[in-house]
Amino acid sequence: MNAEQPSNGVNLMELANRFGQYFIENIASISIVVVVLIGALVYQQIMHVQLGADITENESIGPTSGAGSKTVVVETFDQPDSLDAKMRAGFCKSHLGKPADLETACGRMSKHSCTATSCCVWAKMDSKESCVSGNQHGPIFKHGSSGAPKPLDFYYFENKCVGNCPNE
């Protein structure tokens, strides 16, 4: 048998030798490309450059002084249910730490909208049904203007009724 490789196969030693020669001949160009790529990554990290996918719905690009500002909306292509959940969460998040504002905002909602949030409940108190701020434990403000607790018949939280629920 001959020690040489067959003529129809790939000679790996020759291929490695050619690659090594190419690398040595072009080391300057390869080094420049590597330095430029690393420099771009370092610049991006230092300057906190964000790519388009990281921009939220409320961030502005350009001058923020009103007339020249632009709003970027990134379409997420989510399913409608998860998009609705994000909108509901945004409503609650926008009133975080402002219970009086939340109570007022909930009071403007219909029963359907009210029970679709995670920070409002549709409650029957003092024989009157309305949307008020609340959570899975019921309305947050259960006292009237006199300071006495309002009688709570039932409440809906995320379309689930708790208490003395009416038959629907």
Q: How far is CA 47 from CA 39, 42, 52, 89, in A?
A: 12, 8, 15, 31
Q: Does residue 118 carry a pLDDT above 90?
A: no
Distance separating alpha carbons of residues 21 and 42, to the nearest angstrom = 31
- Overall pTM surpassing 0.85 (yes/no): no
How far apart are the C-alpha atoms of 58 and 56, rounded to whole Å? 6
pLDDT in tens, 138-165: 888 776 666 667 788 889 888 888 888 8
Cβ atoms of residues 125 and 152 within 8 Å: yes
From the list 74, 165, 61, 160, the residue with the least C-alpha distance to 116 is 160
Q: What is the pLDDT of residue 37?
A: 95
Helix (H) or strand (E) segment spanning residue 139: strand 138-139
Q: How confident is the model at residue 31 (pLDDT cuts 50, 70, 90)?
A: very high
> Using one digit for the tens of pLDDT, what is the confidence trace for 63-114?
444 555 666 665 555 444 454 555 566 788 888 888 888 888 888 888 888 8
Of the pLDDT bands very low, low, confident and very high (cuts 50, 70, 90), residue 50 is: low
What is the C-alpha separation between 135 and 133, in angstroms, rounded?
A: 7
Q: How far apart are CA 101 and CA 118, in angstroms?
A: 15
Give dist(CA 97, CA 68) in Å, integer: 31
Average pLDDT, the chain: 77
- Three-class SS of residue 124? strand
